[in-house]
Amino acid sequence: MKIALFATCIVDAMYPEVAQATVTILRRLGHEIVFPSGQTCCGQMHINSGKFAQAEPVIAAHARAFSDTDWDVAVAPAASCVASLGHQQPMVARRMGNDALAAEAADIAGQTYELSQLLTDVLGITDAAADLGSYFPHRVTYHPSCHGMRLLRLGDRQSDLLRSVEGIDYVDLPLADACCGFGGTFSVKNPEVSSAMLADKIRTVHSTGAEVCTGGDASCLLHMGGGLSRFQRTGSFEGTPDVTAVHVRQTSSTDVGDDNVDHLTAVVGADDDDHLTPGEKGTSPAEPSRIQSGFRVGQSAVHLARILASTKEDPLRVQSEGATVSGGSLR
């Protein structure tokens, strides 16, 4: 199948590795990937800020890019943006009196899938280990994004795929359906409320003892990763009320496993050493502890595409030797 990739603006500019992982997975299944070069953004940032007039040319750019290219289905590693294509683009185009654009946008949206939707509903993938060779021997917790959950009704698609990854130690996130507080410009317009929501989310992530918190939306992960990183660096969210110290959960060293220790002490990606400054940063009570002592730390936000793309031959490695991973993203 010819699959058009909609990278989305955040992934394109901030997390290129997520788009690369998406391409890797789909190529592994034998599909041809095209990247409509005129693409930019779904327009959500402007739409949700009420700037419909400014959103219209962005929507038009998307329609142009995807109409100009030949493809069978389109995919984006971002539930929120896929939801915006279907739920918002046609609405805004109509409100701007541009019915032709509304129809075109609805058409493209009808053929655009979020990654887990494409994998399960269109490509029939139910077992990531068997079908994609996915291998990720780490403790992982998962945050379902609001838009994936409530607008796209993704249900268990993402978590089922994750659970079927070989070696994964999947732990449920308490209060998983609570919003992380990002909300696009909400996090700038009401930063204090947003931070208070984030603080609660980080607390639940920590409580799982997971090394990695994953999800299908780079925007939520940007927010949560930013919070995890800040918290681990400083032990608090400055200016955020009610953040009590998080105690790193202790797990028995046996469930870390020798195999895992290998990966945990390896570094993320060969050329990424310089992002990591082991033992240098952080004076927080939540400062990641030594693997040898059997501690694990919820420390990083990683998009699920990267976990699905990880294999035994080419594993995505989580580093945990007394360091926080830079920027909350395994880069």
Partner 1 sequence: MTFLGMPLLPSTRRDRPTIPGGQGNIVEDESFAEVSHQHLSNQQLRNNIGHATSTIREKRADVVAELDDWEELREAGSRAKNHVMENLPEYLAEFEANFTAAGGVIHWARDADEANAIVTELAEANAPVLDSGRREVIKVKSMATQEIGLNEHLETQGIDAFETDLAELIVQLGDDKPSHILVPAIHRNRDEIRDIFEEKMPDAGDLTNDPTELAEAARRHLRHKFLTTKVAVSGANFGIADTGSLGVVESEGNGRMCLTLPETLITVMGIEKLLPSFDDLEVFLQLLPRSSTGERMNPYTSFWTGSTPGDGPQNVHLVLLDNGRTRALADEHGRTALNCIRCSACMNVCPVYERTGGHAYGSTYPGPIGAILSPLMTGVEAEENGSLPYASSLCGACYDVCPVKIDIPSILVHLRNEDAEANHSPVSSQLDTALTGASWMMSEGKRMATAESGLPIAHAVTGGEQINSLPGIAGAWTSSRDIPALPEKSFRQLWAEDEARAEEEDDES
Q: Restricting to residues 23-42, which ones interact with partner 1 according to CB under 8 A?
A: 35-41
Site track 100-139 with partner 1 (rule: CB under 8 A), x = hit = ----------------------------------------
Torsion on CA atoms 299, 181, 5, 213, rounded to nearest 10: 20
Contact pick of 28, 31, 51, 163 for partner 1 (by CB under 8 A): 51
In whole angstroms, the minimum distance from the beta carbon of 211 to partner 1 comes to: 17
Count of C-beta atoms within a 10 Å radius of residue 68: 10
Contact pick of 61, 73, 261, 266 for partner 1 (by CB under 8 A): 61
Q: Within 13 Å of residue 151, how many CA atoms lie on the same side as its CB?
A: 17
In whole angstroms, the minimum distance from the beta carbon of 52 to partner 1 comes to: 5
Question: Helices 79-87 and 99-110: crossing angle, nearest 10°?
Answer: 140
Alpha helices in the chain (DSSP H): 9-14, 16-28, 44-47, 52-68, 79-87, 89-95, 99-110, 115-117, 128-132, 146, 157-163, 186-189, 191-208, 218-234, 258-265, 304-309
Which residues in 192-231 contact partner 1 (CB under 8 A)? 192-199, 222-223, 225-227, 229-230
Which residues in 241-260 contact partner 1 (CB under 8 A)? 241-242
**Identity of the residue, 30 or 239, whose beta carbon is nearer to partner 1 in the bound complex:** 239
Which residues in 261-320 contact partner 1 (CB under 8 A)? 274-275
Which residues in 75-104 contact partner 1 (CB under 8 A)? 87-88, 91, 95
CA 157 – CA 225 distance, rounded (Å): 23
189 binding partner 1? (CB under 8 A): yes
Site track 148-167 with partner 1 (rule: CB under 8 A), x = hit = -xxx----------------
**Identity of the residue, 70 or 258, whose beta carbon is nearer to partner 1 in the bound complex:** 70
The burial class, CB within 10 Å (0-12 / 13-18 / 19+), for 244 is exposed
**Identity of the residue, 127 or 237, whose beta carbon is nearer to partner 1 in the bound complex:** 237
Contact pick of 167, 191, 278, 294 for partner 1 (by CB under 8 A): 191
Contact pick of 3, 26, 58, 115 for partner 1 (by CB under 8 A): 58
Q: Which two tokens stand for residue 298?
A: 């919820």
Sort strands 169-171 and 212-215 into parallel, antiparallel or unpaired: unpaired
**Identity of the residue, 258 or 274, whose beta carbon is nearer to partner 1 in the bound complex:** 274
Contact pick of 6, 15, 113, 136 for partner 1 (by CB under 8 A): 15
Going edge to edge, which strands form the sheet with 112-114?
Answer: 32-34, 2-5, 73-76, 112-114
Contact pick of 98, 117, 187, 299 for partner 1 (by CB under 8 A): 187
In whole angstroms, the minimum distance from the beta carbon of 74 to partner 1 comes to: 15
Give the DSSP per-residue string, 154-203.
-TTHHHHHHHTSBT-EEEPPTTTTS--S-TTTHHHHSHHHHHHHHHHHHH
CA 215 – CA 14 distance, rounded (Å): 16
